[in-house]
Structure 1
């Protein structure tokens, strides 16, 4: 199964439309804010060693 990104994980807008260069640059320093699969706002926790982001539908991402 291949998962394609439908939504931008920083601004929440459609990934296929518009320029997301600023989003990509910001994501180098910030955790994701939106789930790329369902566009839900994720619960994000930042700690000194990294971050975690949780979507209620699709689970957790860690760095």
Structure 2
């Protein structure tokens, strides 16, 4: 799956990534597939982001890619 939108800014992919996001301090705010704003819940152990069209992402699911 290739991202079409920047998950931190909502702009078409390829734009700049904010410094806090580069440091891993910021959860994604926009869906990579459709660019819609997601509902984000930040927890002490990570975050959960929900797109109304593409479902839920959890930081625990992405740990294997780090």
TM-score (structure 1 length as normaliser): 0.80
SS in 1 for 2:32: coil
Aligned residues: 57
**Unaligned segments of structure 1, at least 5 residues:** none
* Structure richer in helix, relative to its length: 2
Alignment equivalent of 1:5, drawn from 3, 6, 15:
3
Residue 26 (1) aligns with residue 24 (2): no
Looking at structure 2, the residues matched to 35 and 49 of structure 1 have their Cα atoms a distance apart, in angstroms, of 21
Give the structure, 1 or 2, with the largest relative contact order (CA under 8 Å, sep 6 or more): 1
Q: Map Cα deviations across residues 11-55 of structure 1 (whole Å, 9 max, x no partner).
A: 000113x4x1x43x3221111000000001000000111110000
Regions of 4+ moved over 4 Å: none
What root-mean-square deviation, in Å, do the aligned CA atoms of Structure 1 and Structure 2 show? 1.3
TM-score, reference length from structure 2: 0.77
Distance in structure 2 (CA, Å) of the matches to 1:41 and 1:14: 13
